[in-house]
Structures are given as C-alpha cells and as structure tokens.
Amino acid sequence: MINRSSLPMEIARHILLLAGAAIILLPFLYMVSVSFKAPYEIIDNSGGFFGAQIPMLDELCSITAKDVADCMMMPALHNYYKALIENPLPRYLFNGIVVTASIFFIQVIIALPCAYALAKLKFWGRDFVFAMVLFCLLVPVHAIGIPLYLMLAKIGLLNSYAALVIPWTISVFGIFLMRQFFMTVPDDLVDAARMDGMSEFTIVWRVMAPTAVPALIAFAIFSVVAHWNDYFWPRIVVTSNQNLFTPPLGIREFRNGIDGNQFGPLMATATIIVIPMVVAFLLAQRRFIEGITLSGMK
Amino acid sequence: MTVALATQLPAPPSSPAASPKFSPASMKKRRVEAATTPWMFAGPAVFLMVIILIVPILLALYLSFTNYSLGVIDFEWIGFQNYERIFTRSSFSKMFTATFIYVGVVVPGSIIMGLLAALAINSLTIGRGFYQTIYFLPVMATLVAMAIVWELALHPSIGIINRFFEASCSVPILSDFLAMEWVPFVDSATTFFGHGCATGFPNWLGDRTTALPVLCFIGIWQAVGFNMVLYMAGLTSVPRELYQAAEMDGVISPWSRFWLVTWPMLGPTNVFVITITAIRSFQSFDTIEALTRGGPSKSTYVMMYALYEKGIKQNLIGMAAAITIIFLIFVFLLTMAQRYFVERKVHYS
C-alpha cells in the first residue's frame, strides 16, 4: 500500500468502519431476529437474537382444529409458515421471477442485434440511431411513468404481465453497453464468419453473443436486481389484481393490513424477499458489484 | 464495387471466390441482405425507443397544457395553468422544499460517507473484502422491504431504536455520554438524548420535524455502498507514481496528500457520482410511499410521490404531466452540468 499506515491508524479505521457496519447491518439483523420471535418477545424485546422458541398457539388453526395441541408451533416456524402458506407470497415470488426474467430476455433480444448493427455494420441512418440512443440514455423511465401509464390504460393493458414488462423491453443502456463492447471485438472475427457463409443473424447469436458473455452477465445482474427490487412501476400499473403483485407490492400490501401480532410474519416475508439477492450477492460478489455499478463505468 | 469486380475476374481455382458461396447469385443476395439487415437489427430497438421513451415525453408535454383526466371525455387546453399552480400553490412549494432538502441532504451525505468509507477501506491491510460486502448490502436489498423493517425499528413504542435509547437513560456512563454531559457549555437537558430521557423519544415517522430527516437517513444508508464502490474504482485509477512524486516534493501528511493528489485525481469520479446520486435521489419514491405517503403535513411530499399522487391516485393527469416535465428539466439540467464539467477536463491527467 501507498500509505503504509501505523498500527494505531489501522485500528482507528477499523473502529470507524465497524461502527458504520453496525448501522448498516442493524435493519438486516433486526429483520432476521424479529422473524424468529413470538409476538410478546417482539413487543418487549426479549428472547435474545433467536427468541426463546417456546411453542405458541396458532390462533387461526385453533378455530378449526380438534386438539389445541396440534396448533402449537415454534415461533420461527409459525412466522415463516404464515408468510409462505397463509399469504400468497409464493405467488408474488413467482410473479417476480416471471417479470424479471421476461424483462431481461426481451432486453437482450432487442438490444444485442441493435448494438451489433451500431458497432459492426455500416448503414444509412446509423449515426442518427446512435444519437437517439445517447439521448434516450438521459430519460429515466420512472419519470415518464404517467404518460406510459396512460398509454397502457388506453390500450387496456393495465393489470397485466404485459404492463409490468413492456416499458422495460427497451434498455438503451444495454444497447450502449453492448455497442461499446462489440466495438472492441476485431472486425476480422466478423469477416471470417462471413467468409464461412454465416448469415448476419447467425453472426449475432453464434459469434458475437458468446464473446460478450462477461458483459451480458454484468448486464443481467444490473437488470435483474433493478427489476426484482422495483416498486414504483408495479405500484402504478397493478392497481386491482392481487394475483399480479410482485414481491415489493406483496410486502407493502401485507404491511398495510396487519395488526401488532403479525410483525413476526411481516419480517419473515421481508427476509424471504430480500434473501435471494443477498445470497446471490454473497456468492458472486465481484460480479455483482461490477454489474450494479455498471452505469458508473461508462 | 471491389466485390462486384472480383466476381467478373477469372479467379484462380483455389481462391475463395471460386467456392459456391461466392457465386454471383449469392453475392447479390448478400448485398441485398447488407442493405436490409442493419435496419432489421436496429429497427425493433428504434421502434421501442420511439414508443416507450420519446412519445411519452411529447405526450406529457402536450397533456401538461390540458386538464386531462383518465376516463373523462372532455378536456381542454388550459395553457400554463398547471405550471402556474405548481409554482404558486403552497402544497407544491412544500413539494419543492421536501425534494430539495431530501436531495440536498442525501447527495452530500452519501457522497462524503461513501468517499470516507472508500478511503478508509482502501488503506486497510486486512478486512477490505469484509467491509466492502457489508457496505454494499443495502444496495442489493429490496428497498421497500427494508423500509418496512426501518419502520418497525423506528416504531415509537416497540421499535428497537427507541427501546435502546430508553434503556440507555438508566445506564449512568452511557447516558451521560449520549446526553453530551462531557461537552463543555452544553446543557445536557436540552440535547436530543437528555430531552428524550425526560419527555420521551420521538415518534420518528409521525412527527413533522423528524419524518424527512429519517427518510434522508434511510436514503443515505442505502446509497453509501454504491458511492463507496465507485470511489474505490476511482481510487485505483490514481497512478501510484503521483504519490511517490508528491512524497519526494515533501507532501508527507495524509491530509495534504489527499488534497493535493487524491482529490484532484478523483475529479471525473466526483462529477459522475454527484450526477448519478442526484438523479437517483430526485427519483426516490419507495421509502416515502411505504412509510409516510408524503406526510405528516406534506413534510415529505417529494416530487416522485407528488407525481404518483396527482396522476394515479387523484387522476389529475394534466397536473402530473406538468410535474413530469419539470422533473425531466431537472434531470436534463443535471446531465448538462455533468457534461459541462467533464468537458472542462476535471481530470488533470
């Protein structure tokens, strides 16, 4: 290192960074801890991190079951059971996966050929198309949410998967990124493929796409994280049909209708929604940081 | 031209031109393909850019001069009335106040914290990956879910934050420390903590004076890791020789080394981080919609929430369109500023 720092300085840095880390981790730890606890433990903050796990009575179950003993459950189990079985959370997760995956695949199908054309083909209007890409990079899709909502309403698409996906089918950023990447691919590779009699279509998907895998992975992470976590857009276009809720809408809905006894299941829901991204991040950290900060690497 | 010529010449038997793939017929097919394929490739993207990004801007511009509502057949051209309302009515002046306070706190807050974290982590000998992972977690996590967790943590009676403060009131040394008993000339009864111990700690999200600061705090909490990573990338691009050269010139203290070498070299990173953080915080919506819905008494009524409330909840599309246009103007101004600074060669290399 440049500044070969003294031990006291190193310790001071660790203390500061640990203090920051504690604040950053606080809501995560609190969320997981509450998701394990019984209602009374949440209210008086007892039971340590994991709660005492003294079996508790499931009220809903006790109405129908013959024997109360059948309805005794460990609080942690009870909370996750409530979150997953008695709420449509699996449905929300499914919607989240469908929407995020569709968005990503359509983005690639649309952006990759366009990026190839911009990088490797000479055609009338190319500069104009690229100027348009550069202009559209400035437009935040959320900001034009109201006119988009209106257009979707006019063609009767509100409350549909299509409404959740359509505005994101075009990723100008994806085009830009892929174009920059394809510029670095040598022309010889494309020429050789043409010599072999490949059609331009085959060149895009069989020659260019494989060379772009690292960029595609980074873009995938960028896109998937953004749309899995997106709240604004689903909030706007899904107004009535709860079957179309994505996980962020789902937890918001759950939070709206709860009484004080359900903080455990609520936090279990939050944990389940947050965990896929966090685990994926922990497994492939470097790729994730690369992907998320992609827009910073222009 | 050269291709056409080549096909007319008697080709040597081994040349690729003699192979069936290069027969005149296939060359012609290829030329036709060469003219149409680029647009087959770029066409769908161009079409979608126009429909999804450009038409809505024009539509918003048009609607912003009308009193359009969804489902109402008659609507009129009302000129600048929507804009006039936005710049005169008190609810909109509250919108601008909340938005600018939010952006004005979150941008410098998350940038300074991000830069400090990056500098501190960068000069560590052990544990760099550890801190980087932790600081980056909030960037990954679903913001609306984490907002709901913060809401519970900030709950006035059962939330862990107020419970922690209340418990600390009866711990002698800790309470003296938090109440700033140790700071000369400060009356410990009037500090946040001392006051809270006596009269109770705030209802964070339900109080007009604390709701916006709390949202700013969550905004910073979420953005620090992102900025930290950008700064870490910026720091690695500072040439090491510069530090050595500075050292030879007698720049020894870390403080002056930072201001003379690191800071100027971070120019491009700074411009980028400021712009992107500003644009992102202008767009913040999730925490506000989930936790305060613009309240109490419009103290957290930021632009994206106003857009949603006017356009979707109250069906005042014309008004929402006017807010959209003002919003887009802010974004364009920010980007123009970024371009200007980039062109002024903020990087001194």
Tell me the per-residue pLDDT of B62-97, one tens digit each, with 9 for 90 and over.
999 988 888 777 888 888 888 888 888 888 888 999
| Residues on chain A touching B150 (C-beta within 8 angstroms) | 27
Tell if the CB–CB gap between A141 and B53 is shorter than 8 Å.
yes
| Residues on chain B touching A163 (C-beta within 8 angstroms) | none
Task: Report the alpha-carbon distance of residue B339 to residue B289 in Å, rounded.
Answer: 32
| Residues on chain A touching B289 (C-beta within 8 angstroms) | 231, 235, 252
B167, closest residue in chain A (CA to CA): A45
Tell if the CB–CB gap between A248 and B254 is shorter than 8 Å.
no
Quick one: pLDDT band at residue A66, thresholds 50, 70, 90? low
Tell me the per-residue pLDDT of B1-56, one tens digit each, with 9 for 90 and over.
333 333 333 434 444 444 444 555 666 566 656 667 888 888 899 999 999 999 99
Q: Are A267 and B152 in contact (CB under 8 A)?
A: yes
Tell if the CB–CB gap between A231 and B143 is shorter than 8 Å.
yes
Tell if the CB–CB gap between A172 and B49 is shorter than 8 Å.
yes
Task: Return the pLDDT at A296.
Answer: 53
Going A159 to A160 to A163 to A165, the CA torsion angle's sign is positive
Three-state DSSP class for A258?
coil
Question: Cα dihedral angle (B287, B289, B290, B294), rounded to 10 degrees?
Answer: 90
- The verdict on A206 touching B (C-beta cutoff 8 Å) is no
Across the range A212-236, mean pLDDT stands at: 89
- The verdict on A27 touching B (C-beta cutoff 8 Å) is yes
Q: What secondary structure does DSSP assign to B111-152, as a single string? A: HHHHHHHHHHHHT-SS-HHHHHHHHHHHHHS-HHHHHHHHHH
Residue A290 predicted with pLDDT over 70: yes
Q: Mark A209-232 as b/e (b = at least 16 C-beta within 10 Å).
A: beebeebbebbbbbbbbebbbbbb
A25, closest residue in chain B (CA to CA): B134
Q: How many CB pairs under 8 A join A and B?
A: 283
Provide the chain A residues 122-151 that lie in CB contact (below 8 A) with chain B. Answer: 122-123, 125-126, 129, 132-133, 136, 138-151
Task: Report the alpha-carbon distance of residue A105 to residue A191 in Å, rounded.
Answer: 27
| Residues on chain A touching B148 (C-beta within 8 angstroms) | 251-252, 255, 266, 270
Provide the chain B residues 101-160 that lie in CB contact (below 8 A) with chain A. Answer: 113, 117, 120-121, 123-125, 127, 129, 131-146, 148-153, 158, 160
Task: Return the pLDDT at A1.
Answer: 42
| Residue bearing the bigger pLDDT, B157 or A293 | B157
In order of start, what are the domains of chain A with their CATH numbers?
7-82 (no CATH), 89-297 (1.10.3720.10)
The beta-carbon neighbor of A27 closest among B16, B153, B283 is B153
- The verdict on A167 touching B (C-beta cutoff 8 Å) is yes
CA distance B277 to chain A (A): 11
With residue A73 as reference, give the H or E element that holds it: strand A72-73
Q: Which residue carries 């017929």 as its tokens?
A: B25
| DSSP-assigned beta bridge partners for residue A57 | A72
Tell if the CB–CB gap between A169 and B48 is shorter than 8 Å.
yes
Three-state DSSP class for A221?
helix
**Residue B301 φ then ψ, to 5°:** -80, 75
Count, in order, helices (H) and strands (E) of chain B.
Answer: 18, 0
The beta-carbon neighbor of B221 closest among A17, A24, A31 is A24
- The verdict on A274 touching B (C-beta cutoff 8 Å) is yes
pLDDT tens by residue, chain B, 349 residues: 333 333 333 434 444 444 444 555 666 566 656 667 888 888 899 999 999 999 999 999 999 998 888 877 788 888 888 888 888 888 888 899 999 999 999 999 999 999 999 999 988 888 888 898 899 899 889 999 999 999 999 988 888 888 888 888 877 787 777 777 777 777 777 777 777 777 778 888 888 888 999 999 999 999 999 899 889 888 887 888 888 888 888 877 878 888 888 888 888 888 888 888 988 899 899 999 999 998 788 889 999 999 999 999 998 898 999 999 999 998 888 888 887 877 775 554 4
Strand bridging mode A72-73 / A56-57:
antiparallel
Tell if the CB–CB gap between A273 and B142 is shorter than 8 Å.
yes
**Residue B148 φ then ψ, to 5°:** -70, -35
Least Cα distance to B294 among B99, B86, B37 occurs for: B99
Tell if the CB–CB gap between B328 and A197 is shorter than 8 Å.
no
B279, closest residue in chain A (CA to CA): A140
Best mutation target, B2, B15, B53, to test chain A (most A CBs within 10 A): B53
In order of start, what are the domains of chain B with their CATH numbers?
2-63 (no CATH), 90-156+202-343 (1.10.3720.10)
Task: Return the pLDDT at A102.
Answer: 95
A112, closest residue in chain B (CA to CA): B41
